[in-house]
Structure 1
Amino acid sequence: MSVAPNGDPHEKGHASVVFERSPETSSPAGGPDRLFAGYIFDLDGTVYLGDQLLPGSRRLFERLSSLGREVLFLSNNPTRSPEDYAAKLTRLGIPTSAEQVLNTVTTMTSWLVRHHPDATVFPISEEPLKRSLATAGIRMSEDPTQIDFVIASYDRAFDYRKLQIAFDAIRTHGRARLITTNPDRFCPLPGGQGEPDSAAIIGAVEGCTGVRCEQNTGKPDPYMLDAALERLGLTVAECVMVGDRLGTDIRMAIDGGMRSALVLTGDTTLETLQASPPDDHPTWVIERIDHVLPLVIRTGGDDA
């Protein structure tokens, strides 16, 4: 499975740079010159980093609320539930309900319920995914002779015992398939730091079993985009995707035919963007998240 490319946090100062895919909506300030019915946002590196809102975030969401626009937050991070994310956003000053958050805990659970409701799974994951699977009635087991799917997820307690169970289920007994919540290589942390994400688990299982991961239920897979549009009740043409990663946020939008805005506050640097193929470029490049609003209705200031 291909995984999302990662780079270093971006140094500011490039708001005027625009990489256009659809010239009909360009703005001199580098962002859209129109409003959308729905706005889909990544979280880490886009809205906040760690426990700090990124510049423009609070003001943007206040404005979108006053304009009556639909907002949905997407995250590939399965270490928290939608309720956890909603509580965090609300605590940071962006009032949010759990229904406004869609992450890979939700999409993995819904994918299994829709396509393999009778399967037995072995989740290499943290508790939020396990709780969600249990609530949905998905059977879980550590018995390699019973496992139909090994779920490689973001698990900070991953160890050799879990790898052995996955190996036995896939290789020794030849019955389990490998799937993942998300393909990210690392999760960004404040100060330019990070920690290994699901790609590390995928790589370990693929490396010892020789199989390839068959399904990703996070960005950039179309399943995540379809789930987002279903939640919003809108079409691709009515929405814009805003995120900081070319390989997940922007790739999902491009593949789905949705307009996208890359914000240079997280994973992707301007240098990384300029070195990437044109087919990987977003519709717009913006220095900060509130620049996704048209200039004529955008409020100024550098506060969050």
Structure 2
Amino acid sequence: MIATVDVDEKGVLKGINCFALDMDGTVYLGEQWIDGARDFLKAVERAGKKYVFLTNNSSKNPQTYVEKLGRMGLTIGLNQIVTSGEATIAYLKKNFPGKRVFLLGNELLQEEFVEAGVKLDEKTPEVVVVGFDTSLTYAKMCRVCDFVREGLPYLSTHPDFNCPTESGFIPDAGAIHAFIHASAFRYPDHVIGKPSGDIMDYLAQRAGVSKGETAMVGDRLYTDVAAGVKNGYTGILVLSGEAGMKDVEESEVKPDLIFSSVKEMIPFL
């Protein structure tokens, strides 16, 4: 059954104490707030609830997001940002402790891994990690395909095919996976970001929240909403980014609630 847009008949939002918010396409596009997003954040605070930003975008580190939101007029702390890069570091430390990693990622992600104590190695790695690398070059693609072809464990920060921007969409990590598969005939062995339970468990632990009282809000069915409904959270779709109602009709993933944008959630808080 498909939820009615902009309606919360069962009063689900009244029981939500924390909103885990996707960023691109959910609260902003580029450096422009989606209409009413700031009002929504203020309404959450007025209701005595909290919010954290949970993003699959591993091309930026948490400090970069804090600075970006600061430029947009919102002051928050690092504790309110959770990225797929952070969750991937936690996954590596648990499952591949001390292993040398080839990381396909921006300089910011590389710095984040190094600061967390992950050993990066471009020549003799033991594990491959693919992120959203906007500094991608053909030489990098050749190198990562070589390592994947060799059979090294192959992880990725997240599965998103496209990243929304103010002027449309740009290829994201999922598109890089497709390139690698076309050459090396492998998709990632494991993906840490949404909709994986890894990042959602990491979120609950980091934010100190109960899954049953937390809503995952985003504009993608296959990452944001799936992360919510498959991992014990309330999954809420907003139609301000990638997915539309036709996608909902065709998808196996059904949101618990659907809103035109986060602004339309305000009356139900």
Fold match, TM over 0.5? yes
Residues 170, 59 of structure 1: alpha-carbon distance in 2 compared, 3 angstrom cutoff = closer
Partner of 2:59: 79
Q: Distance in 2 between matches of 1:38 and 1:206?
A: 38
Q: Distance in 1 between matches of 2:117 and 2:212?
A: 35
**2:194 aligned residue:** 219
Question: Which is greater in Rg?
Answer: 1
Contact 1:42 1:73 in 2 (8 A): yes
User: What is the match of residue 200 of structure 1?
Assistant: 175
CA contact (8 A) 2:15 2:213 kept: no
Q: Is the 8 A contact 1:105 1:128 kept in 2?
A: no
Deviation at 1:167, TM superposition (A): 3.1
8 Å CA contact 2:215–2:236 kept in 1: the answer is: yes
Partners of 1:152 and 1:179 within 8 A in 2: yes
Contact 2:239 2:260 in 1 (8 A): yes
Distance 1:284 1:162, change over 3 A: same
Mark the runs of 5 or more structure 1 residues left unpaired by the alignment. Answer: 1-17, 21-25, 298-304
1:183 matches 2:159: yes
Q: Report how far residue 142 of structure 1 moved.
A: 1.4
Could you tell me which residue of structure 1 aligns to residue 263 of structure 2?
290
Q: Distance in 1 between matches of 2:181 and 2:249?
A: 32
1:184 and 1:197 in contact (8 A); partners too = yes
1-structure distance, mates of 2:264, 2:12: 8
Q: Which of 209, 212, 215 lines up with 1:237 in the alignment?
A: 212
What value does the CA root-mean-square deviation take over the aligned residues?
A: 2.1
- Whether contact under 8 Å (2:226, 2:235) holds in the other structure is no
Q: Give the drift of 1:156.
A: 2.1
Instruction: Find the aligned partners of 2:164 and 2:145 in 1 and give their Cα distance.
Output: 29
Paired AA for residue 146 in structure 2: D
Task: Say if 1:35 and 1:94 are closer, same or farther in 2 by CA, change over 3 A.
Answer: farther
Of 145, 149, 153, which aligns to 1:167?
145
Do 2:131 and 2:158's aligned partners in 1 also have CA atoms closer than 8 Å?
yes
**Contact 1:70 / 1:232 at 8 angstroms: preserved in 2?**
no
Q: What are the superposed Cα offsets for residues 113-155 of structure 1, whole Å, 9 maximum, x if unpaired?
A: 2221211111111012100111112111111xx2111112111
Contact kept? 1:31, 1:291, Cα under 8 Å: no
**Structure 2 unmatched runs, 5+:** none
Residues 33 and 148 (structure 1), Cα distance of their counterparts in 2 relative to 1, 3 Å cut: closer
Q: Describe the SS at the equivalent of 2:216.
A: strand
What is the CA–CA distance in structure 2 between the aligned matches of 1:45 and 1:186, rounded to whole Å? 11
Alignment-mate amino acid for residue 288 of structure 1: S
SS in 2 for 1:168: helix
Structure 2 residue corresponding to 1:113, chosen from 93, 104, 108: 93
Deviation string for 1:64-94 (max 9, x for gaps)? Answer: 2233312110111111111111222232233
Could you tell me how far apart the structure 2 residues matched to 1:168 and 1:184 are?
23
1:248 is aligned to: 223
**Contact 2:160–2:172 under 8 Å retained in 1:** yes
CA drift of 1:32 comes to 4.0
Per the normalisation by structure 1, the TM-score is 0.82
Q: Which amino acid aligns with 1:27?
A: D
1:139 is matched with which residue: 102, 112, 119?
119
Cα distance, 1:157 vs structure 2: 2.6
Query: Does the residue aligned with 1:256 lie in a helix, a strand or coil?
Result: coil
- Structure 1 residues 139, 292: closer, same or farther in 2, change over 3 A? same
- Are 1:27 and 2:3 an aligned pair? no
Instruction: Give how far 1:179 is off.
Output: 0.9
Within the candidate set 92, 103, 111, 1:123 is matched to 103
State TM-score, norm by structure 2: 0.92
Aligned to 1:11: none
2:249 corresponds in structure 1 to 274
Q: Aligned partner of 2:248: which letter?
A: L
Aligned mate of 1:90, from 60, 67, 70 = 70
